[in-house]
Structure 1
Amino acid sequence: MVIRILTVCLSLLLCSPAVAQNKAAVQRQFEGWLERVVWPQAKRKGVSRGTFERAFDGVQLNWDLPDLVPPGSKATTPKRQRQAEFGSPGKYFNRGSVDGATSVGRQMAQRHGAALAAAERRTGVPGRIILGIWGRESGYGRVKIPHNVFQILGTKGFMDRRAAYFEGELIAALQIAEEGHVPGGAMRSSWAGALGQPQFMPSNFLKYAVDGSGDRRADIWQSEADTIASIANYLAKHGWVKGRDWGFEVSVPASVSCTLEGPDQGKAISKWAAMGVTRVSGKPFPAHEARKQGFLLMPAGRSGPAFIVTPNFYVLKDYNTSDLYALFVGHVGDRIQYGSKDFAGRWGNVGGLYRSDVAVMQRALERQGHDVGGADGLPGYKTRRSIGRWQEKNGRAATCFPESSMKAALR
């Protein structure tokens, strides 16, 4: 706790008496900004004055949020990732998270079977996939969503590094309040402004939240039926292909290079099978999938489970841009419905590097002409396969994952 307080003080420059005395002045500037900038935009979007005033009644700036740039201070490049450790992807699938999401998900499948079935009929999105997302985002509504959305988005829209983005989300939140989907006091959000049990940003609420209970509201805070219907609608609108699975765990022979990974290197699933890629279950790929496109996914390179995924996997990534997130959702969904076990492939002893170490490797690969997807310190599929191509070019066995032994060669 002491470390956190010191970090906040240094990053926001709020520990000096001069700045502390200025908080009241900044609050007045904030209130002026609401009137001059936010209210005219909200009015043009059909928000009433009454809704606007109720939303900001008693709202004070939240000085504890990250990435704030108070008026008069200079924005600096954040260094929060410099010494962040990059761990093994296997940590994402820890026993407690997987088993908890599965066991509670099975209870929810029984309790809300009618709503899940109705959503699947309307959208083609399987109930188990809806449950996987619901469980990951809010623990099936059991995780507390603590913040006043107008305080969060007001603060970030006024003085965040990405103020313009959050200002737009604030206007969207006011539109939601105006439409009366839920009483203003119940519009709780995460620290980043994500709303309700599906954790929609307000602009996504306006696009994808729907009524699943028949009361003509989309209450994703208190209604499980609305939550289920809204998650399904989001996935459907992002291109979920009815009748296709999300993917299959596979065994990849040494003759198939891990550099073939990625959504831009798809092949008919029958072609992957002809190359020697087989399902770990021993079953053949489903006949209806054979001629359709599949993509190699190796989230830990050769040091972890491998998968042939379908376009639906990348629809799950639209919900949260992470391979591991999409994999977790699909895996938990399968466990809920089919009683599936752990992945057959084991996560190897990888990770332990700092993200700054990975970023150095990424920049070195970029200088050699590789597309790593950006030097962000995170080994996404473009970085993984670039490492594999570099390894192959230099006479090394391709593992397609950053390792400590590469640090000296990739600088």
Structure 2
Amino acid sequence: MILKPAVACSTLVATLLSPLAAADASFDRCIGELRSEAQTRGIRAETFDTLTRALEPDRSILSQLDYQPEFRTPIWDYLAGLVDDERIADGRAMMEQWAATLQEVEAQYGIDRATIVAVWGIESNFGRNFGKRPLLTSLSTLSCFGRRQGYFRGEFFAALKIIENGDVDAARLSGSWAGAFGHTQFMPSTFARVAVDFDGDGRRDLIDSIPDALASTANFLAKAGWVSGQPWGHEVTLPAGFDYSLAGRHNKRSIAEWARQGVQRVDGVALEASTTATAVLLPAGEGGPAFLVQRNFDALYSYNAAETYALAIAHLSDRLRGGGAFVKPWPTDDPGLSRAERREVQTLLTRLGYPVGEIDGLIGKTSREAIQEIQKTNGLEPDGRAGRYMLNVLRRLAGTAQREGS
């Protein structure tokens, strides 16, 4: 059958829109299912209807489900951007500014201020980076599409309850693609379990109350098994012939036993003859730094379930106390870049004629593609990596371009 032009056009449009319409219908059906379950969770029907009436799915977040930088980024890159001079200076300034509050939090929860501030710095850069995605949009999408829908439904209901209880207004509840929000990026269910009203205004507010956020973080760590007065661990050297099969966060032995095997602190301080359970951690394998970690490292790990993340907080907390960089270098000939150096990379790319957008220190897709093009032009492996080697290449190219243009 030959269709008339108008009929053919309408048929084509319908064909193109049908997958989207089907997906929207699927989302609407899912919201209907969630409504029934929400009532069994103690959420009023009026609250649910009001907060979900205008929701539309954001499918762009589904690609994030299988990406976590803690597991994909080389640890020397990951730590270089998280524990840099800029964040250390900011953290010390925050410790001074919020000294009185932190002193009260320490007294009540037994968590030292450097650790609390380190979590704050890693999670939101001291409140500068909350995330801009509306939580109800993200969590409803993840409740209806993709994997782990059961988990995200629980977080969706917890977010609705936060709003219903009056702790945070719906318009203020924005955060990461996965639903974390506030100064120290709690998931809604974590908020329900451990958030506290430390400023006494009758609300638990991790967005507009820094005292609530700091105290809630301390409460989280206390409930995660933090042992007051103990360190998270130490960088150590391993003896020749060390059996690397003994390494691993779950393979615990007493400090005294590790000392008998020849494990030593890099700072020369003798390991105590203690029965405290510890483990040897090798985040970059046998060629990188080694750490002897204790129960408090496990408490940090519970915040985000990644050893690299826990090490970032542990290391930043040490730096805030005046400690230095790790003694043993990472096993790479191309070290990672600080945020200031990453901004320099973006600035140099722009100067060389590659528009990369905002100079924000975040090496995204556009910056990586520009780097790849430069690498191809200069006979380098086009991996798009912004490391120390590529920074030096860009400095040379920009210098040459400036001289030729002058």
TM beyond 0.5: yes
- Residue type of the alignment partner of 1:56: T
State the partner residue of 1:390.
none
CA RMSD of aligned residues (A): 2.6
> Larger Rg: 1 or 2?
2
The answer to whether 1:38 aligns with 2:24 is no
Aligned 8 A contact 2:83 2:315 in 1: no
In structure 1, C-alpha distance between the alignment counterparts of 2:145 and 2:250, rounded to whole Å = 38
Question: Greater CA deviation, 189-198 or 43-52?
Answer: 43-52
The answer to whether 1:331 aligns with 2:318 is no
Q: For each residue in 1:236-295, what CA deviation from the matched residue of structure 2 results, as whole angstroms up to 9, or x when unmatched? A: 11111122110011111113222221233322212222322221112223x5x7332221
In structure 1, C-alpha distance between the alignment counterparts of 2:194 and 2:103, rounded to whole Å = 19
In structure 2, C-alpha distance between the alignment counterparts of 1:56 and 1:272, rounded to whole Å = 56
Structure 1 position 86, deviation (Å): 5.7
Structure 1 position 168, deviation (Å): 1.8
Match of 2:276 among 292, 303, 313: 292
In structure 2, C-alpha distance between the alignment counterparts of 1:170 and 1:253, rounded to whole Å = 50
TM-score of the superposition, structure 1-length normalised? Answer: 0.72
In structure 1, C-alpha distance between the alignment counterparts of 2:269 and 2:170, rounded to whole Å = 52
In structure 2, C-alpha distance between the alignment counterparts of 1:95 and 1:301, rounded to whole Å = 21
State the partner residue of 1:173.
159
- Residue type of the alignment partner of 1:254: A
Distance verdict in 2 for CA 1:280–1:124, change over 3 Å: same
- In structure 2, the gaps of 5 or more residues are 1-12, 336-406
Distance verdict in 2 for CA 1:29–1:91, change over 3 Å: closer
In structure 2, C-alpha distance between the alignment counterparts of 1:298 and 1:319, rounded to whole Å = 20
State the partner residue of 1:184.
170
Quote the sequence identity (%): 34
Question: Greater CA deviation, 159-168 or 102-111?
Answer: 159-168
Structure 1 position 43, deviation (Å): 2.0
4+ aligned runs moved over 4 Å, structure 1: 78-81
In structure 2, C-alpha distance between the alignment counterparts of 1:95 and 1:213, rounded to whole Å = 32
The answer to whether 1:282 aligns with 2:268 is yes
Which structure features the higher share of helix residues? 2
Aligned 8 A contact 1:296 1:308 in 2: yes
State the partner residue of 1:402.
none
Structure 1 position 306, deviation (Å): 1.0
- Residue type of the alignment partner of 2:95: A
State the partner residue of 1:152.
138
The answer to whether 1:227 aligns with 2:210 is no
In structure 1, C-alpha distance between the alignment counterparts of 2:72 and 2:164, rounded to whole Å = 43
In structure 2, C-alpha distance between the alignment counterparts of 1:111 and 1:79, rounded to whole Å = 38
How many matched pairs? 321
- In structure 1, the gaps of 5 or more residues are 1-15, 69-77, 353-411
Q: Any residues of structure 2 matched to 1:67-216 within 5 Å, and which?
A: 67=63, 88-94=74-80, 97-216=83-202
In structure 2, C-alpha distance between the alignment counterparts of 1:122 and 1:267, rounded to whole Å = 31
State the partner residue of 2:401.
none
In structure 2, C-alpha distance between the alignment counterparts of 1:201 and 1:79, rounded to whole Å = 18
**3-state SS of paired residue (1:273):** helix
Q: For each residue in 1:327-363, what CA deviation from the matched residue of structure 2 results, as whole angstroms up to 9, or x when unmatched? A: 11011001112x11110011112899xxxxxxxxxxx
Q: For each residue in 1:121-148, what CA deviation from the matched residue of structure 2 results, as whole angstroms up to 9, or x when unmatched? A: 2221111111111111111111142011
**3-state SS of paired residue (2:286):** helix
Structure 1 position 308, deviation (Å): 1.0
